[in-house]
Amino acid sequence: MQTATDTLTIIRPDDWHVHLRDGAVMASVVADTARQFARAIIMPNIRPPVTTTELAQAYRQRIMTSLEQAGIAQESFTPLMTLYLTDNTSADEVVRASQSGIVHGIKLYPAGATTNSDAGVTDLLGRCTPALEAMERVGMPLLVHGEVTDPAVDLFDREAVFIDRVMLPLRRAFPGLKVVFEHLTTRDGVDYVRDADGPIAATITAHHLLYNRNALFLGGVRPHWYCLPVLKRETHRLALVEAATGDSPRFFLGTDSAPHPRGLKEHACGCAGCYTALHAMELYATAFDAAGRLDRLEAFASLNGPAFYGLPVNTGKLVLQRAEYSIPAELPMADTTVVPLAAGESLGWAVQA
């Protein structure tokens, strides 16, 4: 990493959790991710979900075609595919995925936890044991949406309860299983990931580093700040900042950027998800700068993730300039628009072209 008063140069980063969607929506948003990141873990919760290696290969080809149509050189961006874990995922499918060379994780969505999660797992240890045994054996990471969906559990407590009800029993049963606790949001989660035994890591989003739950209600209900897991109290935000900017290699960048049409966000039952792919590194640089830890951004964005996934560090560079960056009010998305996080506001860092 090279720093100057107004310039920050880091190894080109990776996004270890992003939603590209499919079809015309993907064509509208894929370039935003590819312009900043060399690689990205692609979430499988499209319709229909990516449940097999064959479906992952087909989805990957659609991504590469969209990149070409957007004028992005295919060799400059590598989509790292994932499978959607279901109650019926077989051990043979896990082995096929591992041998494919393109699938780098299998995603656990508790049924009903978030957008397009209705096909998710209903009983992890009861129904998924053969798949989990195979994943542990071949070294395939389990990527976890870490919330329970029990309606009796308070929305703001679902991550902490997930640790007790799901994560602890899971890792007792499969101590060698590689686990990524995705889009971490609480001090409870930070403490667990930092101190747990075995191969575990966590991604942290820019919006959870920058905002607490007050952002949802400033001047009224603001649907474009609504995501799942939801923004939490300030004490949790501070714990996430400490983890992201600290020395532990277990924490790394994952935007969870999720495009939704403006009309479905500003809706009686609005979709969960924040669109941050356009200005992801500007947001992260702002968060690290506010913490006085720009020196830690490269490890978080460019080094820790490859180390956990067993992949080489990228060779390219990304340059950030201390300059005003104005976030657009909205962006084209298929036949509608998407509102990026913090639309209409300004940030203090901009990625150089």
SS3 164: helix
**Total domains, the chain:** 1
Q: Is residue 4 part of a domain?
A: no
Are 260 and 322 in contact by the 8 Å Cβ rule? The answer is: no
Q: Please tell me which residue in 256, 289, 295, 335 is annotated as part of the active site.
A: 256
Residue 47 DSSP symbol:
S
Examine residue 75 and state whether it is found in any structural domain, yes or no: yes
Provide the 10 A C-beta neighbour count for residue 205: 31
85 within some domain: yes
Residue 233 is assigned to a structural domain of this protein = yes
Question: 260 labelled as ligand-binding?
Answer: yes
Q: Is 212 marked as binding a ligand? A: no
Please check if 293 is assigned to a binding site.
no
Residue range(s) defining the domain that contains residue 57: 14-315
| Per-residue pLDDT reduced to its tens digit, 164-204 | 999 999 999 999 999 999 999 999 999 999 999 999 999 99
Residue 92 annotated as catalytic:
no
Task: Flag whether 237 is in a domain.
Answer: yes
CATH number of the domain within which 47 lies: 3.20.20.140
62 labeled part of a ligand binding site: no
Query: Is residue 341 situated within a structural domain?
Result: no
The letter for the amino acid at 89 is: T
261 is a domain residue = yes
Please give, one letter per residue, the 3-state secondary structure of 164-207: HHHHHHHHHHCCCCCEEEECCCCHHHHHHHHHCCCCEEEEECHH
- Terminal CA-CA length for the chain: 18
Report the sign of the C-alpha dihedral through residues 237, 243, 246, 251, in that order.
negative
What pLDDT was estimated at residue 114? 62
Q: What is the pLDDT of residues 279-320, one digit of tens each?
A: 999 999 999 999 999 999 999 999 999 999 999 999 999 999
6 occurs within a structural domain:
no
Report the predicted TM-score, pTM, of the whole model to 2 decimal places. Answer: 0.96
Residue 224 annotated as part of some ligand binding site: no
Low-confidence ranges of the chain (pLDDT < 50): none
